Chains A and B, each alone.
Chain A
């Protein structure tokens, strides 16, 4: 069954069209990643889905309800981790969670929420003394208080250290395993790859690629670049490459395997692949690749 339906959504801010007719669906229990650079329209989309703003055009449904007109009913079934939102700085972490528990019909126990967010040891700390990453974790604890059926996570791990990011990913996977539908926005390709099964990539208010994570990223998962040896025709290489400013660039789902293939080929011919660079794709690579494909 479909938990989130977005059909032709448009939304403008003061004359600027932030979202230009996007459509996608998220099935129940799925983790869906909305990828994009800053200003792509991800947060605007989440804010409409969370009922903060009305869609200018198109149709949006979350659990079958209109997020704007049915906001009160939907709030009891959704959790929202906003990209930007404030806290009461003079309350402690525990007091903040307790205050939000008062706002929640059937809240998790405070210790359980703090444990999920990895904040148990910071319960007595005032919010003003938390780091940026810890505030994101407190945000997560509040979003999870009502055991939501649908969870919106807007840039959930921004500002977190690697350990906190990893444990947040574990929490997100655990929630999905229990049936929670999760829509997350991120500009970290790795985050989307590790968590989501389906995704859409937004750019300038439009979806430029979407589908299953594996299929969409398969040809673009990583890249191997090297200076093309003299007198070697790119067509002779064992893998397809593009030549960009004297460098051969091979895009592959598994860049490590591709580099081994290329190195073996070069060794057999006594060639050296100077300036060899192997890395997984970044979101920027993905956008460049998508733009190249579009030309």
Chain B
């Protein structure tokens, strides 16, 4: 009951914050639909460029709509002592965070589905061959990136720095997944970046192979849970 309440609250606040809507919805959806649309007549190595770039932009959606959105929202609420007030209610810490993570993950998954349909209609990007597997891996990716965004707040000293601190994550995830076009990378770096959760989702969607990506996502989820347990701060630092 209370978990549902925090989920509803998270969803309500997601759609109310106009500044965040621009950053978390309009920008990533614009990129995820706009870039395939611009490249709809191009092919790269026999593959439609629109399809390839759309798969890459899934990393942008995950890193912005899930990771950055929840990191900024939770840091703001932490620094404005809203999290402290929530903890003064009957909610448990787990309910507060789980409701928020589930809400952010759901909005992200919805964005991914909307974009997949939009690029099918506007840019001829084929729908996933296995829709259930696509939905499953997109949902898992959304949940893991939301969880990691919550954990990452521990590294953000103040709310006004949240955007600056999350930007490198967005850039690395985007470059790694090919969302910014083919950028040549050293092989050792390629191997490291392939371990990112966003790259795992993109690889799963591209190849249909789920075993490796699921293992990577599970590892990141475990790391995120441990980080939250050890370092999550409910209040700003006193000094």
Contacts and interface: CB of A to CB of B under 8 A. Distances in A.
Q: Do A and B bind each other?
A: yes
The 5 A-B pairs of least Cβ separation, nearest first, read: A102-B5, A86-B80, A85-B85, A86-B82, A86-B81
Contacts of A99: 5, 9
A103 interface: yes
A84 B81 contact: yes
A85 B83 CA distance: 8
Given A90-B13, A99-B9, 11 more contacts: A82-B81, A84-B81, A85-B82, A88-B13, A100-B89, A102-B5, A102-B8, A103-B5, A104-B89, A142-B88, A142-B89
Interface size class of A (residues with CB under 8 A): 20 to 34
Contact of B77 (A14, A75, A86, A146): A86
A232 interface: no
Nearest to A105: B90
Contacts of A72: 90, 92
A86 B17 contact: no
Contacts of A265: none
A141 interface: no
B130 to A, nearest CB: 38
A50 interface: yes
Interface in B2-31: 2, 5-6, 8-9, 13, 16-17
Given A75-B89, A102-B8, A103-B91, A90 B16 contact: yes
A104 B91 CA distance: 8
22 contacts: A14-B238, A72-B90, A75-B88, A75-B89, A82-B81, A82-B84, A82-B88, A85-B81, A85-B82, A85-B85, A85-B88, A86-B77, A86-B81, A86-B85, A87-B85, A90-B13, A100-B89, A102-B5, A103-B6, A105-B90, A142-B85, A146-B90
Contacts, number: 61
Nearest to A71: B92
A50 B88 contact: yes
B82 A75 contact: no
B88 A104 contact: no
Interface residues of B, number: 24
A194 interface: no
Given A90-B16, A99-B5, A146-B90, A52 B84 contact: yes
Chain A CB within 10 A, most for which of B81, B85, B90:
B90
Contacts of B207: none
B155 to A, nearest CB: 19
A76 B90 contact: yes
B44 interface: no
A292 interface: no
A105 B84 CA distance: 19
B87 interface: yes
Interface in A204-250: none
Given A76-B90, A86-B77, A99-B5, A14 B239 contact: yes
Contacts of A82: 81, 84-85, 88
A90 B82 CA distance: 13
Contacts of A86: 77, 80-82, 84-85
